[in-house]
A and B are shown apart, each in its own frame.
Chain A
Amino acid sequence: MSLLIEKPEAGTPATRRRRSSVNIPLTLLAAVLSLTVLIPLYFTIVTALKSSDQLGGNGLALPTSIHLENFSNAWKLTNFPNALLISGIVTVAAVILTILTNSLVAYAIARNMHRPFFKALYYFFIAALFVPFPIIMLPVTKEMAVLGLDNPVGLFLLYTVYGLSFNVLVYTAFIKSIPAELEEASVMDGASTWTTFWKVIFPILTPINATVGILTCLWAWNDFLLPLVILSDPTTRTLPLVQYVFQGQFNTDYTTAFASYLMAMAPLLLIYIFAQRWVISGVMRGSIK
């Protein structure tokens, strides 16, 4: 396991040294293929800047005049600051709570796998990976309403609990590769298991914490079905949910709709542009478990 995890970092310098010649035709092919990603993005941006009578044609033309009022209209119609705040709170809370609790659970399981209780627990959590959300969708909606959790608090709790299955898998694989001698030293110094976890293990988990954090962030920010069924109060709608309601009410006002889509995508897109390398290596690490 440890061998696999170190591979990408160890492999990169070696491959770079041998990369003497650059393949120009393949670079061009990559450039052409990347247009399939960039053109829809470009299209979203220019449409958001146009007025309705500039729509039409192939849609790729630059706007003849910039219409920023699309954004202010979308801002007001979707109550954007409110949705942004709700999405932000749910995402940040889900990420923090997930990292703090899921790593702890995985640590206890990984270090006690020889005990039947922890082994059973491991398989119990992993088995839940196979349960598709639509199956629990109806009962959990009722249950959350009964518990008074049909709100953003219930929502981030659900992300934390539902992420457990996959995260335990990723964390335990990594924790097993940490030599137990590290903790022994700390225990010998008289540290409790709690202290040992927070002071010794948790800092070592940083790369996996980053992976879990990134994946949880993408999930909580972009998810649509869970907020759709859980949130009962219209003033607590998340960004994707707002787009859904907006689309239903103003389905012909395309330029405002595109401004609204762009505003909903922008926060994560901007963070991604600056932290791109980091995000990709984080996701890659998650797949090498």
Chain B
Amino acid sequence: MTTTANKPRTTAGLQRRRPSRANKTFYWMVVPALVLFVILHTVPTVTGMFYSFTDYAGYGEWDFVGLSNYVNLFKDDRIMASYGFTFLFAITTTIVVNVGALFIAILLNSKIKYQTAFRGIFFIPNILSVLIVGYVFNYLLSNNLPLIGQALGIDWLSTSILANPDLAWLGIVGVTAWQSIAFSVIIYLAGLQTVPEELYEAAGLDGASPWRQFRSITFPMIAGYFTINMVLALKGLLQAFDQIVALTNGGPGTSTESVAMVIYRGGFQGGEYGYQMANSVVYLVVIVVLSLLQMRFLSRKESELQ
């Protein structure tokens, strides 16, 4: 806090004494990176938007088609279904991940033995490749889980849930949550360590129950970390690709195709370059709007809590 308050004065002082040549150095520090960023990030984003108004197939000639790609998107059942699946998957997984991670983080922050070792174990899923984790679970879910289902006499578990159009998405939610919880746990743990122990002691003396302590102390104190986790998780999960390739490859049929997967398939293999770029632009707008709404909503809740 004190450093921030002093900042304007000290920086201004530094600038006054520094010759104007030094400022050029600062430009040299950023301009090469800026040029690379524009070439490799901004240019593709803008050319993509440009091609969304054409009938470009990815090769050969193209013509302007105005907004017709955008109009067609909304009439395309496969595209709409991919948005439906992506939202259902991303929202469900975000909730599962945050509830699970918060629970585990509180557990790992309590007075347990072998605390560091447990933290080490719970972070392992995050250092593994999503694709490979998907392949391992693909085998478990299609070969081992049905055996357990048969042994217990549960009908819907007796065959592979990944082969069932109604249940496959749950398999993807489960595997993704298994992996994503690891990272959220670490962020929540960082948050929990900012809560002063004295608050719990005082609350304990006042006879507050653990649930009451969680509601009145823990959660309000780490609300900022909750916001970060919710926004990061939803944004990341809306882009799901690797785990779906490994688990169902979009199937059965096209029941688990995510938006990213439809863009990849249509754009690279289906000759729908222009059309999928229109899809990408819509997808970008959806993600930006959702992230901003979520941030506004959650930060308002946050200030209500404090």
Given the complex, which residues of A lie within 8 Å of B197, measured CB to CB? 11, 14-15, 18
Report yes or no: A137 in contact with B264, Cβ–Cβ below 8 A: yes
CA distance A80 to B8 in the complex (A): 55
**How many chain A residues touch B (Cβ–Cβ < 8 Å)?**
110
With A218-B127, A240-B131 already in contact, the answer to whether A131 and B116 are too (CB < 8 A) is no
Report yes or no: A136 in contact with B48, Cβ–Cβ below 8 A: yes
Q: B268: CB under 8 A from chain A?
A: yes
Given the complex, which residues of B lie within 8 Å of A47, measured CB to CB? 139
Q: A132: CB under 8 A from chain B?
A: yes
With A11-B193, A18-B197 already in contact, the answer to whether A261 and B132 are too (CB < 8 A) is yes
Residue from B17, B26, B183, B246 in contact with A112 in the complex, judged by beta carbons closer than 8 Å? B26
Report yes or no: A261 in contact with B26, Cβ–Cβ below 8 A: no
Q: A177: CB under 8 A from chain B?
A: yes
Distance in angstroms from A187 CB to nearest chain B CB is 6
Distance in angstroms from B6 CB to nearest chain A CB is 8
Given the complex, which residues of B lie within 8 Å of A243, measured CB to CB? 129, 131-132, 135
Q: A225: CB under 8 A from chain B?
A: yes
Report yes or no: B136 in contact with A184, Cβ–Cβ below 8 A: no
Contact with A along B113-148 (1 / 0, CB 8 A): 110101111111111111111011101100110011
Report yes or no: A287 in contact with B186, Cβ–Cβ below 8 A: yes
Report yes or no: B116 in contact with A138, Cβ–Cβ below 8 A: no
**How many chain B residues touch A (Cβ–Cβ < 8 Å)?**
103
Report yes or no: A140 in contact with B116, Cβ–Cβ below 8 A: no
Q: A59: CB under 8 A from chain B?
A: yes
Distance in angstroms from A257 CB to nearest chain B CB is 7
Number of residue pairs spanning A and B whose beta carbons lie under 8 angstroms apart: 287
Residue of B nearest to A117 (CB): B27
Report yes or no: B17 in contact with A108, Cβ–Cβ below 8 A: no
Q: A123: CB under 8 A from chain B?
A: no
Report yes or no: B14 in contact with A268, Cβ–Cβ below 8 A: no
Report yes or no: A137 in contact with B11, Cβ–Cβ below 8 A: no
Residue from A57, A135, A142, A269 in contact with B281 in the complex, judged by beta carbons closer than 8 Å? A135
Residue from A130, A132, A277 in contact with B120 in the complex, judged by beta carbons closer than 8 Å? A277
Residue from B17, B126, B135, B259 in contact with A184 in the complex, judged by beta carbons closer than 8 Å? B17
Distance in angstroms from A225 CB to nearest chain B CB is 5
Selected interface stretch from B68-76, B103-111, B165-173, B297-305 = B103-111
| Selected A-B contacts with CB under 8 Å, 28 pairs | A33-B104, A33-B122, A34-B118, A34-B121, A59-B144, A104-B29, A111-B14, A111-B26, A112-B26, A134-B239, A136-B45, A138-B58, A139-B44, A139-B47, A143-B43, A179-B3, A184-B13, A224-B241, A225-B260, A244-B131, A265-B132, A272-B124, A277-B116, A280-B186, A284-B186, A284-B190, A285-B190, A287-B191
User: Can you list the 10 inter-chain pairs with the closest CB atoms, starting with the nearest?
Assistant: A139-B44, A222-B129, A108-B29, A193-B25, A134-B260, A180-B10, A140-B44, A135-B280, A287-B187, A136-B44
B residues with a Cβ closer than 8 A to A are 1, 3-4, 6-8, 10-11, 13-14, 17-18, 22-23, 25-27, 29-30, 32-34, 36-37, 39-41, 43-45, 47-48, 51, 58, 104, 107-108, 110-114, 116, 118-133, 135-137, 139-140, 143-144, 147-148, 178, 183, 186-187, 189-191, 193-194, 197, 225, 228, 235, 238-239, 241-242, 245-246, 259-260, 263-264, 267-268, 273, 276-277, 280-281, 283-284, 287-288, 291
